[in-house]
Amino acid sequence: MIGRRAAIAALCAAVAALSSVASSAPSPAPDILVSRQLLESQQLQVGDVVSLSSDTSGANPRSFRIAGQYEPTPDPMRLGAVRLEVRMHLPDVVGLTAQSDPLDAESVDAINVVLANDDEARATVRRLMTAVPGTLAERTGNDERRAAPFVVLERFHLAIAIVTVIASSVFLLALMLMLVEERRATVGMLRLIGFRRSRILQHVLAEGVVIAITGALFGVVLSVVLEGGINRFFQWRYDTALVFVHITPGVALRSVTVAVPLGVAAIFASSWSLLRGEGISLTRR
């Protein structure tokens, strides 16, 4: 029996009517959990007894005691929705809905089941579908249909990233050209003194590596700082615990791996024309 194996919880998405009643007297009312958002919006407290109805008019209410609050599981598909939700035991859901329609006592549209062991999900789904014909059972996680919009979003992000890298490279090259052009006379002087081209190139590349690594690390630090800021802003804006930006070590490493060779290549390309020139010609403006 699924009910015994799983912690039974039902989400009552449409809380039609909810009112707080005196909470001082002991009450036989069944316990419910209330979402933080609902608790805050109705200024409720744990221990309060509230009346819930599945009817929008508030007819046939039933009393429940708030046993605690919970943070709704972040769901990107419901971004922007105000999570005014309660969690209650399955018999309570059935009882609440059955009051408006006696047939409801016999039927439930959907049940979310949390398995104690997630590895059994596939087998449980198969067993359910076989045991109760007409029942559609599916995993909430790893659902390709639910992930589809995010796959598109991810591709869009990748496209933006590629365009950004190309534009940044052009900008970096232009910047390096200006930097190297400013050093034209210095390179000329060093060549006249007797510095070999290869030696100057070594200096230039070493400097390029230092600049590129410093720039890349600065970029990573900046993105981590922005990550916190962006997440805090949107979490506040949409009242959600969703994480909007996450800079993983892998992402940081990939960025550094792309940025450093790009920076070095840019400084190498910009220096090359300069190093090909004769020392004396470089000192002339």
Partner 1 sequence: MEPLIEARSLGKVFPMGGGPVHALRDISVQIAAGEYLTIRGPSGCGKSTLLHILGCVDTPSSGTLRFDGRDVSALPDHARSDLRLRSIGFVFQRFFLLPMLTAAENVDVPQAEAGVSRADRKRRTAELLDYVGLGHRAGHRPSQLSGGEAQRVAIARALANRPRLLLADEPTGELDRANGEHIAELLDRVQADGTTVVVVTHDAALAERAGRRLVMRDGLIEREEHAR
Using CB under 8 A as the criterion, which residues of the chain lie in contact with partner 1 when the complex forms? Answer: 185-186, 188-199, 278-280, 283
Between 93 and 190, CB nearer to partner 1: 190
- CB contact burial 37-73 (16+ within 10 A = b; e otherwise): bbbeebebeeebbbbbbbbeeeebbbebbbeebeebe
Rounded to the nearest whole angstrom, what is the least distance from the CB of residue 202 to partner 1 in the complex? 12
Closest by CA position to 15, among listed 112, 97, 103, 98:
97
Find the shortest distance in angstroms from Cβ 195 to partner 1: 6
165 near 262, Cβ under 8 Å? yes
Q: In the complex with partner 1, which residue's Cβ is closer, 179 or 230?
A: 179
The answer to whether the CB of 100 falls within 8 A of the CB of 54 is yes
**87 neighbors 73 (Cβ within 8 angstroms):** no
Shortest distance, position 198 Cβ to partner 1, whole Å: 7
Q: Which residue number, 201 or 258, has a Cβ lying nearer to partner 1?
A: 201
HSE value, Cβ hemisphere, 13 Å, CA-based, for 204: 29
Nearer to partner 1, 152 or 280 (CB): 280
Reference 180, options 91, 270, 275, 248; nearest CA is 270
Nearer to partner 1, 119 or 182 (CB): 182
CB of 283 to partner 1, least distance (A): 6
Q: Which is nearer to partner 1, 166 or 185 (CB)?
A: 185
